[in-house]
Structure 1
Amino acid sequence: MFERFTDRARAVVKGAKEEADALGHPMIGTEHMLLALLRADGGVGHTVLRASGIEYEAVRATVAAGDDAAALRSIGIDLDAVRASVEQTFGPGALERAEPAERGGFLFRRSKAPTRFNNAAKKALELSLRVALSMKHNYIGTEHLLLGVLKEERGAGGRLLREQGMTYERTVDLVLTALRNAA
């Protein structure tokens, strides 16, 4: 399947791994694919997201906060207020994860397990192929990845997009318009 990916789409998949690693997440999810699409330089997927008002910084902050923030909000706790209070007391960056010290020797080597795609991300990649085929395209581009992420209902990336008002049907229209304008 990856042989059908355009160079930009391959860069998005690689970028998704980088996003997951940077956030300390052991699995690549659709939210990391969304971040990589937003960070990508160019491509129809990136163009459609930016035209829809979706911003990298806002999505990254939401992904970094995770579902814990939503759970805390539901019981009346404002995570941003807690974070501000902790940083005021203990200094900026007090809540950042510290890297464990490197340990030498054969028995203490830390092996970094390869980051893998979670089930939602795998399904989004499969759906991107199906979307490309339904559009009669012989390649998978960033636009197909975007539509695959949005179509995958269980993934955090699609949920974030739907919370921002994006629908699959409207996004297909935006993608087709962007493809016509690019031609």
Structure 2
Amino acid sequence: MAGQESARKLNHNHLGTEHILLGLFAVEGVAATALHNLGISQDAVREQLLRTAGFGTKPPTGSIPFTVRAKKALEMALKDALTLGHNYIGTEHLLLGLMRESEGAGAQLLRGFAAQHQVRDEVIRILNAPAPAPEPPPVVVGREPEIQRIMQILMRKSRNNALLVGEPGTGRTSIVSGLAQRIAQGGVPAGLAEVRLRAVDATMAVAEDPDRTVLFLDDVRPGDADALRALGRGRPRVIAVTDPGTYDALRDVGAYFQVVPVGEPTHGEAVGILKQLRREYEAHHQVTITDDALDAAVTLSARHITDRVLPGKAVEVLDEAGARVRMTDGTARTVDARHIAELFADRTADRAADGPSVDDRSIWAMS
């Protein structure tokens, strides 16, 4: 990722919104074009960042972790993509997400060169200009029953709002992204063909065409209960996402919403989801990922990462293995089951202060 390289060159041991901003200059796309059109250069932004943050004292090693604000900006990018009716996340959505995360260093740097509305207006202007439609990246689907159930709920006359309930990491938001892709490709019933998904906050006042808009509320919390009830009683239709703990405090919304449970996928389903994501991670890490690496990521994450769920934890393992292999010398960059197992060997060795370490390479060989 260009943001990782930007952080590494500055000896910064975190990946913040400022590094994502610098990385956008290095990637050909709408964001780089918009910044150029606004007279904002990478050198000027980097110089300003150095004045405020300076160089780090210790070069980072391994994969650089995202800051909380950087993660929030990425979430905002997904919401902007859905708001614009796009079934992909491009550099334009990342730029808009950086601006919406207004307290982040990236937004603060940008405000030194242009106002938020100027950046957004320029991105929208470029998007509306005649141009070939970008090819969307793979979307995590593998959840056909859930998508079919959501479509059936939306087609109802009453109680036509869906509430997805599942633990974070089960791919709740990805199911909605899969539905958005299905709508964009025309793979939905006629009653949903003209619908667009719009991501909103639970407390946002909405005035939309009730027949052609479906609102998407991600990560509903207990404090959103009143707003959720108000939206559920009205129009347009709503798809909301929450976790089981929050749902326990929201059970009375069942008068307006129908629950779609989102559990962990089976082993085979999780491997299938990783296969859909493989090309994206191969391109990012510039590696080749084998089938047995995907199977190992699911098998070993299910066995040893007990505080998280599939497919999220398997995706994290695959990403970490790709980052490690990318750092090695040589041109034969292939991620296989051995590299996945080595990650778990490291984890068990780190936790073995009270006893002998368990080498998961041996576990993998026997499984």
**Structure 1 residue 113: deviation in Å?**
4.3
Residue 90 of structure 1 corresponds to which residue in structure 2? Answer: none
Q: Hey, what does 1:86 align to over in structure 2? A: none
Task: Report % sequence identity.
Answer: 41
- Determine which of 144, 147, 150 is the counterpart of 2:99: 150
Runs in 1 of length 4+ with deviation above 4 angstroms? 96-100
* Equivalence for 1:170: 118
- How far is the alpha carbon of 1:43 from its aligned partner? 0.5
Which residue of structure 1 lines up, in the alignment, with residue 63 of structure 2? 114
Distance 1:179 1:164, change over 3 A: same
Structure having the larger proportion of residues in strand:
2
Match of 1:31 in 2: 18
Q: Alpha carbon RMSD of aligned pairs, Å?
A: 2.2
Over residues 12-38 of structure 1, what are the superposed CA-to-partner deviations in whole Å (9 max), with x where a residue is unaligned?
A: xx0000000110000001111111112
Aligned to 2:129: 181
User: 1:120 offset after TM fit, Å?
Assistant: 1.0
SS of match in other structure, 2:115: coil
Whether contact under 8 Å (2:12, 2:56) holds in the other structure is: no
In the alignment, is residue 22 of structure 1 matched against residue 9 of structure 2?
yes
Which residue is 1:139 aligned to?
88
The 3 A distance-change label for structure 1 pair 138 and 112 is same
C-alpha contact (below 8 Å) 2:11/2:58 kept by paired residues: no
What SS does the aligned partner of 2:98 have?
A: helix
Corresponding residue SS for 1:65: helix
Corresponding position: 1:159 with 2:145: no
CA distance in 1, matches of 2:14, 2:106: 14
Partner Cα distance (2:127, 2:87) in 1: 14
State how far apart, in whole Å, the 2-side matches of 1:176 and 1:98 are.
40
Query: Which structure has more RCO (C-alpha within 8 Å, separation ≥ 6)?
Result: 1
Deviation of residue 98 (structure 1)?
8.3
Map 1:93-108 → 2, pairs under 5 A: none
Cα drift, residue 112 of structure 1: 2.3
Listed one character per residue, the Cα deviations across residues 36-83 of structure 1 (whole Å, up to 9, x for unaligned) are 11222x201111011011111111112123247xxxxxxxxxxxxxxx
**What is residue 324 of structure 2 aligned with on the other side?**
none
Q: Determine the structure 1 residue equivalent to 2:296.
A: none
Shift in Å, 1:182: 4.5
1:58 paired to 2:44: yes
Matched with 1:82 is none
- Rg larger for: 2
Aligned equivalents of 1:99 and 1:144: distance in 2? 32
Match of 1:92 in 2: none
Q: What is the aligned residue count?
A: 131
Normalised by the length of structure 2, the TM-score is: 0.34
TM-superposed deviation, 1:165: 2.4
Q: Structure 1: state its 5+ residue gaps.
A: 1-13, 69-95, 101-110
Give me the whole-angstrom Cα distance separating, in 2, the residues matched to 1:160 and 1:114: 24
The structure that is helix-richer by fraction is 1
SS at match of 1:49: helix
